[in-house]
Structure 1
Amino acid sequence: MPVMIVTGTGTEIGKTVVTAAVAAAALTQGRTVAVLKPAQTGLRPDETGDAAEVARLAGAVTTAELARFPDPLAPATAARRAGAAPVHPHTVAVAAEKLAAEHDLVLVEGAGGLLVRFDESGGTLAEAAQLLEAPVLVVAPAGLGTLNATALTAEALRSRSLALLGVVVGSWPAAPDLAARCNLTDLPEAAGAPLLGAVPEGVGALAPEVFRERAASWLAPGLDGCWDGAGFVAEVGSGAAFGSA
């Protein structure tokens, strides 16, 4: 797949670290990777954005950021408040296609969830995915409430005839509670798609070389990893401690 959309069931749930892990695993397989951030919000021009953070963790990836707005809001709202031009889904698709012409894999990391507005006409990441005919990877939190949010995201994808590649838990806790352990079994049913990984909490603080060495162990073979999902679920369900970085 030349282009993959990375979205989440909400904000601050680990999308950037998951994107970095997917990029690192692909690089390990000898693939060339680009990361596109359509709209970065909540940062000043001199601050490190999500695409740059992916490059720091994953290694030699090409990065692109189409727009940056200072307020930590939905892209459409942040653009309006900044008096700046918003990012349109068509612009995202064109940028991704250009990167895809020169790379084996392009990861497009959204802002917040799938239907967060990019522009004043209601354009979203889902619309960009439709234009690109690209599969979507959903990042979800581990704990209580994730099943409903994941099911809603999956339903929104199906209603738009978009392919849901699978779900990755964006920040797997070192000491998972009952809800988190049970959700590993229930997330695939809620999504109607496979569980493709569980990235331990805190791994964004690892040294980049350590992050790159371990990234494949957090992701299933479908994402260039070696994570044994069935074994992980079985052992977590038995009460064993999982989630160390």
Structure 2
Amino acid sequence: MSILVVTGTGAGVGKTVVAAALAALALARGSTAAVVKPAQTGVPAGAPGDVDEVIRLSGITTTFELGRFPGPLSPAAAARAAGMPPVSLAGAAELVRELAESNRLVVVEGTGGLLDRYDEDGATVADLARTLQAQVLVVVRAGGDTVNHTALTLEAMAHRGLDLAGVVIGRWPAAPGQAERSDVADLEMLAARPLAGALPEGAGRLADRRAFAEVARKGLGATLGGAFDPAGFRQSV
């Protein structure tokens, strides 16, 4: 069994699509898998959330959303604004451990970045990963401030003794500019290893699960169950 915590350098980097891609690859190779979203923020009750997107894209059936808050804030701030109790990461860890007993892969998708607060005591997804002794997959954006944000995230992980599963670009543009292309070498330098994947922008809009599974296979590296070639990608950009 394996537990993989998916975090990012911030919101909107493509964590949900990466989580769905991991689930799709697991199902394609006949493995059992589960996806856990400890806290969904910025989505009202009854509306489709990140877990629903994972189900739609991958076809996975074992999914859990442990808390939902309508405010587009960190989990702790969103819970406070809604007058609701925060999500218990200790409870999330217990559920993940239980799921890991009957599933070959359990993917835990964090909210926001590595150090976004989940409760008033300051618990973060980094704490959850350490409790679970799980590897952490870092999803980053292309361009912008990604090098700085990735460096800060990886430094925070190293300080906490967390094991890096790899760095994945969550939304690689069809027509990358100079900034996006130059970031590839910098990201690999920061991670001290080749990229673990790069999913094309728009992958989350695919309606056909087989097409999405193929995108996942091409966009994630061998350690994540796919066939992404970091050397070929580096050369192409």
TM score, norm. by length of structure 1: 0.93
1:114 correspondence with 2:87: no
1:193 shift after superposition: 4.1
**For 1:1-245, what aligned pairs fall within 5 Å after superposition?**
2-209=2-209, 210-236=211-237
Consecutive unaligned residues in structure 2, runs of 5 or more? none
More divergent stretch after superposition (107-116 vs 175-184)? 175-184
Identical amino acids, percent of aligned pairs: 53
Letter in 2 for 1:218: G
Runs of 4+ in 1 over 3 A off after TM superposition: none
Deviation string 1:91-121 (CA, Å, 9 cap, x unpaired) is: 2211111111111100000000000000000
Cα distance in 1 for partners of 2:218, 2:166 equals: 17
Letter aligned with residue 97 of structure 2: E
Contact 1:154 1:192 survives alignment (8 Å): no
Q: Which moved more, 1:182-191 or 1:224-233?
A: 182-191
Q: 1:59 corresponds to which letter in structure 2?
A: G
SS at match of 1:171: strand
Q: CA RMSD in A?
A: 1.1
CA distance in 2, matches of 1:185, 1:222: 20
Cα distance in 1, alignment partners of residues 92 and 181 from structure 2: 36
Equivalences, count: 236
1:88, distance to aligned residue in structure 2 (A): 2.5
- Within 1, Cα distance between the matches of 2:186 and 2:70? 38
Contact preservation (8 Å) 1:17, 1:170: yes
Whole-Å separation in 1 of the counterparts to 2:46 and 2:208: 21
Opposite residue 77 of structure 2, the aligned amino acid is: T
**Structure 1 residues without counterparts, runs of 5 or longer:** 237-245
CA contact under 8 A between 1:6 and 1:109: conserved in structure 2?
A: yes
8 Å Cα contact 2:51/2:64 also seen in 1: yes
Does the 8 Å CA contact 1:13/1:141 hold for their aligned counterparts? yes
Question: What's the counterpart of residue 242 of structure 1?
Answer: none
Q: Which moved more, 1:90-99 or 1:113-122?
A: 90-99
Deviation, 1:181, is 0.7
Superposition deviation, residue 192 in structure 1: 3.1
Mapped contact 2:7–2:114 kept (Cα < 8 A): yes
Structure 2 contact 194–230 (Cα < 8 Å) conserved: no
Question: By how many angstroms is 1:89 displaced?
Answer: 2.2
Is the contact made by 2:23 and 2:60 (CA closer than 8 Å) also made in structure 1?
no
TM superposition score normalised by structure 2 = 0.97
- Matched residue type, 2:50: D
1:74 deviation in Å? Answer: 0.5
